[in-house]
Amino acid sequence: MPTNREVYFSFIKENNKYLNRNVITSVLCACNNYVDNMTLYHHFDDECSNYNQLLECFERIKNGEPFQYVIEKAHFIDLVFYVNKYVLIPRQETEELVIGTKVMIDKMLPLKTLTIADVCTGSGVIGLYMKKLYPSAEVYLSDIDEKCLAVAKKNGEMHHLSVKYLQGDLLQPIIEKGIKLDVLVCNPPYIGSKETIDEQVWKYEPHKALLAEPKTKYYEEIFKVADQVMKPDSILAFEIGEDMEDEICALVEYYFPNSAYKLAKDMYGKLRFLYIMIKEDGNYA
Ligand SMILES: C[S@@+](CC[C@H](N)C(=O)[O-])C[C@H]1O[C@@H](n2cnc3c(N)ncnc32)[C@H](O)[C@@H]1O
């Protein structure tokens, strides 16, 4: 069997567009059952375990399959989550949504024991990370698709994060259970047309997680009934598409005429996040 070093350099030399350094080290870690790159480098001159499985993984990746589906793992902030073809692969912007939401919470709702919902949870990354950040919070993860909830549950168990899982359409299960929220975080489907979706994403990722017709559909459906679930002092946080500023602002101003809101940019300078602040005393200073 070749060593990890030999495998690493033989695939680097291939210069394949899908095989960069990060992908190759991730596959080597997964096939060797190493927890991280440090462990891989420590064992760089050891024989590669599961070499045949590793070759199969690289074949699938070279055919265009996202490496996270192949190794069934995706990084989110500093945690590794299980993923499969039923859930969207977590994106970097969504990490920023979680951090941005934490900043809003610590400013507006400090020292509160929070009730938080991650609606459209997919693999569960947002809600589970919120639970990690706020261990005393009651956290609900909801999705319309039971296959997504199965993945989210697996991730919750893997990270020993105790949250509650709800299946249903957007806020419906939260309304039915009479749950009142301090924080709602949501990354809904928001791509208006198949034509704007990258070919590899369309081929492999779940369409239910991507498409919305019109693109603001899920936001509006949530805004319409948000007053039934949000507490008098609360925060709604959303990831948004980079091309929906005007439409989303018009909707927020229509459905939340007495609340403050702000749009925030991602690390590339694109407007990708919406935060709505509801305050009982109306003081947004
Ligand atoms: C963009 S993905 C987000 C997944 C995950 N939160 C993330 O950020 O990686 C959207 C998710 O919304 C779910 N979804 C689609 N329509 C829904 C609906 N009507 N009610 C609840 N969830 C829905 C999909 O199953 C998918 O998991």
Looking at the fold, whether 34 and 110 belong to one and the same domain comes out as no
Residue 139 domain-assigned?
Answer: yes
Are 213 and 173 members of one domain? yes
Average pLDDT over residues 201-211: 96
Q: Which of 88, 89, 120, 273 to mutate to test the pocket of ligand 1 (most atoms within 8 A of CB)?
A: 120
Residues 127, 18, single domain; the answer is no
**The pLDDT of residue 282:** 80
In whole angstroms, how far apart are CA 144 and each of 22, 90, 207, 230, 284? Answer: 33, 18, 13, 20, 34
On whether both 62 and 24 belong to a single domain, the answer is yes
The verdict on 235 and 126 lying in the same domain is: yes
Could you give the CA distance from residue 203 to residue 53 in angstroms, rounded to a whole number? 23
When pLDDT is cut at 50, 70 and 90, the band that residue 79 belongs to is: very high
pLDDT at 111: 86
pTM score, whole prediction: 0.96
Confidence of residue 280 (pLDDT cuts 50, 70, 90): confident
Helix runs in the chain, H state only:
4-13, 21-32, 37-42, 51-62, 67-71, 92-108, 125-133, 146-158, 172-176, 199-204, 217-225, 245-255
pLDDT for the residue numbered 145:
98
As a whole number of angstroms, the distance between CA 184 and CA 137 comes to 13
| Counted domains in the chain | 2
Half-sphere exposure of residue 272, counting CA atoms within 13 Å on the CB side?
17
- Average pLDDT value for residue range 224-240: 98
Query: By C-alpha distance, which of 233, 122, 138 is closest to 179?
Result: 138
The fraction of the chain above a pLDDT of 70, given in percent, is: 100
Question: What separation in Å is there between the alpha carbon of 11 and the centre of ligand 1?
Answer: 35
Over the stretch 6-39, which tens digit does the pLDDT of each residue have?
Answer: 999 999 999 999 999 999 999 999 999 999 999 9
Pair (67, 106) in one structural domain: no
User: Of all atoms in ligand 1, which is nearest to the CA of residue 148?
Assistant: 27
CA–CA dist 86, 106 (Å, integer): 33
Residue 85 lies in a domain: no
Cβ contact 86:148 at 8 Å: yes
Q: How far is CA 269 from CA 108, 137, 242, 263, 265, in A?
A: 25, 31, 10, 12, 5
- Residue whose CA lies nearest to ligand 1 atom number 12: 120
Same domain for 187 and 102: yes
pLDDT value at 201 more than 80: yes
Task: Give the Cβ contact number of residue 180 at 10 Å.
Answer: 12
State the closest ligand 1 atom to the C-alpha of 172, by its place in the atom list counted from 1. Answer: 20
pLDDT over 80 at 275, yes or no: yes
In a domain, 77, yes or no: no
- If you measure from the C-alpha of residue 124 to the centroid of ligand 1, how many angstroms do you get, rounded to a whole number? 10
- 280: phi then psi, degrees, rounded to nearest 5: -65, -40
Return d(Cα 81, Cα 262) in angstroms, integer: 30
171 belongs to a structural domain: yes
- Please determine, for residue 285, whether its predicted confidence score (pLDDT) is greater than 80: no
Nearest CA to ligand 1 atom 19: 169
Label residue 68 by pLDDT band (50, 70, 90). very high
Tell me, yes or no, whether 83 lies in a domain. Answer: no
CA of 6 to the centre of ligand 1 (A): 41
Average pLDDT over residues 58-80: 97
* 210 and 108 within one domain: yes
What is the pLDDT, as a whole number, of residue 284?
75
Buried b (16+ CB within 10 A) or exposed e, 44-65: eeeebeeeeebeebbebbeeeb
* Residue of 143, 187, 222 with the most ligand 1 atoms within 8 Å of its CB, for mutation: 143
Query: For residue 171, what are the domain limits?
Result: 92-278
Q: Are residues 52 and 124 in the same domain?
A: no
* Band of pLDDT at residue 257, cut at 50, 70 and 90: very high
Same domain assignment for residues 214 and 159: yes
Q: Find the residues whose C-beta lies inside 6 A of ligand 1.
A: 87-88, 90, 94, 120-123, 125-126, 143-145, 148, 169-170, 187-189, 208-209
Tell whether 134 and 270 lie within a shared domain.
Answer: yes
Residues whose CB falls within 8 Å of the CB of residue 79, separated by 6 or more in sequence, listed in order: 128, 129, 132, 159
Extract the tokens encoding 91: 């994106």
| Residue 52 in this model has a pLDDT that exceeds 80 | yes
Check: CB of residue 186 under 8 Å from CB of residue 118: yes
Per-residue pLDDT, 63: 95
**Residue 184 contacts by C-beta under 8 Å, 6 or more apart in sequence?**
116, 117, 119, 222, 226, 229, 230, 234, 235, 236, 237
**What pLDDT, on a 0 to 100 scale, did the predictor assign at position 216?**
97
Output the average pLDDT for the chain. Answer: 96
Residue 86 lies in a domain: no
The answer as to whether 159 is a domain residue is yes
Position 62 in a domain? yes
Token code pair at residue 11: 């695939």
Residue 41 CA to ligand 1 center (angstroms) comes to 37
On whether the CB atoms of residues 184 and 237 are closer than 8 A, the answer is yes
| Domain co-membership, 146 together with 61 | no
143-198 pLDDT per residue, tens: 999 999 999 999 999 999 999 999 999 999 999 999 999 999 999 999 999 989 99
Number of the ligand 1 atom closest to the C-alpha atom of 169 = 20
Residue-level pLDDT at 209 = 96
For residue 49, how far is its CA from the centre of ligand 1 (angstroms)?
Answer: 36
CA distance 22 to 29: 11
CATH number at residue 259: 3.40.50.150
Nearest atom of ligand 1 to the alpha carbon of 210: 1
